[in-house]
Amino acid sequence: MNAQELRDKTPDQLREELTSLKKAQFNLRFQAATGQLENPAQMRVARRNAARVLTILNEKAANAATE
């Protein structure tokens, strides 16, 4: 998922995406705590994807406020 794909989505779709990413991030943390996580780099990717979605949401909110 790249930033351009996210910018094409509506804020509601972005919020749904953020919810699913946060759930995935929780599951990865749980796997890491129990020693079942095979690829620790997945945690970093999940965290960055969630941050990317939040950034796009904030950009959209800022643009809506100035219009």
pLDDT in tens, 15-35: 999 999 999 999 999 999 999
Which token pair is 10? 């509506």
CATH of the domain at 58: 1.10.287.310
Structural domain boundaries enclosing 45: 1-64
Domain count, the chain: 1
Predicted confidence at residue 6, as pLDDT, reads 93
Predicted confidence at residue 67, as pLDDT, reads 82
Predicted confidence at residue 41, as pLDDT, reads 96
Predicted confidence at residue 14, as pLDDT, reads 96
Q: How far apart are CA 64 and CA 62, in angstroms?
A: 5
pTM for this model (two decimals): 0.88
Say what percent of the chain tops pLDDT 70.
100
